Amino acid sequence: MGKEFTILAGTANPPLAAAIARELGLPVGACAIDRFPDGEVMVQLREPVRRKEVILVQPTSPPVNDHLVELLAMADACRRAAAASITAIVPYFGYGRADKRHGRREPITGRVVADLLQVVGISHVVTVDLHTPQIEGFFHIPVDSLTAVPILCKELEARMSPDLVIVSTDVGRVQMAGRYAQCLGAPVIILHKLRGSGGQTEVTDIVGDVSCRSCLIVDDIISTGGTLAASIRALLRAGARPDMMVAATHGLLLPGAREKLDHPAVRDVFVTDTVRVANQDWPGLHVISIAPLIARALERFLADGSLEDPYEETRRDARQGETKHGATILS
């Protein structure tokens, strides 16, 4: 007897779950999620999952704690209902930035989240552009971290000017910026960022020459928009052309972020739908779906195949010297 699959959606991003299900030709399963009067999460599976391979789609985006507990409760419901396996599609992994201690008497909350996901019986995690790759090491179950960079680059390619430079918002994003550089064939510039006590971000140094260049600023997350606003200011001060684009995988876009990015020097902002984006009335904002990326990865997983190395294509191009515009490639 072949495997049977069920996709279930939490409340964090039902349109993404529906798009993944459409790509796979599967329906989204029936599952009721609500809140008790005191705010506790209530989950009820409305169809059997016994001996089925269950796929839960739930980014742990803001409100992070609510969405996390929903995911845990859904997985627990599936485990107790005798699901054969539980794969969690967590396209945005909340608490990913809490991956180390910055001082004494601090938690590593990203690790706590990994433990919780495993305790409730999740047997496989699929995620997109983890804040740091070592988060995978917090798990003892398989974690597939996909990258949205090639998908974003497909959109960016048509809009890039020949003098484009890729700007990494800090040293932590250099590897990601290198991937954009490989895809788009442009050099990498690195900003050195400091966060003040009030969460204010300040760019103290720029490694590379941006004068009279058009900039594509790349980051994994846009949260308050503070990092990007500081980057834009610093790049303009350093003589960059007021013709910039921004690309980030996870557009949390907290209140106030749009105002910071709606800058006359910023032409376009690209994010993906790992997180449900509310600002649909923002003409400069382009939301690119990662549903096909996740669906293709799931197809390979469902067929017991191995996941392709997401970076292999760009590495191959680089090895064959096919990068454009004489790119500087950092890796």
Binding site for ligand R5P (CB under 6 A): 97, 169, 172-173, 201, 219-227
* Min dist. Cβ of residue 219 to ligand R5P (A): 5
Q: For ligand R5P, give the closer residue by CB, 185 or 225.
A: 225
* Min dist. Cβ of residue 222 to ligand R5P (A): 5
Instruction: List the catalytic residue out of 154, 193, 260, 324.
Output: 193
Counting every residue written for the chain, the total comes to 331
Q: Which letter does DSSP use for residue 231 in this model?
A: H
Is 193 a residue of the active site? yes
Beta bridge partners of 270: 247, 286
Q: For ligand R5P, give the closer residue by CB, 74 or 244.
A: 244
* Min dist. Cβ of residue 312 to ligand R5P (A): 25
- Name the strands in the sheet holding 143-146, side by side, starting at the edge strand that comes first in the sequence: 5-9, 53-57, 85-90, 124-128, 143-146
Phi/psi of residue 22, each to 5°?
Answer: -60, -45
* Min dist. Cβ of residue 331 to ligand R5P (A): 18
Distance of alpha carbon 113 from alpha carbon 115, whole angstroms: 5
* Min dist. Cβ of residue 256 to ligand R5P (A): 9
Pairing of strands 188-195, 143-146: unpaired
- Helix H or strand E segment including 166: strand 164-168
- List Cβ neighbours of 272 (8 Å cut-off, separation of 6 or more): 91, 128, 148, 151, 152, 249, 250, 251, 287, 288, 289, 290
Mapped onto helix, strand or coil, the DSSP state of residue 190 is strand
- List Cβ neighbours of 106 (8 Å cut-off, separation of 6 or more): none
Catalytic residues, which ones?
A: 193
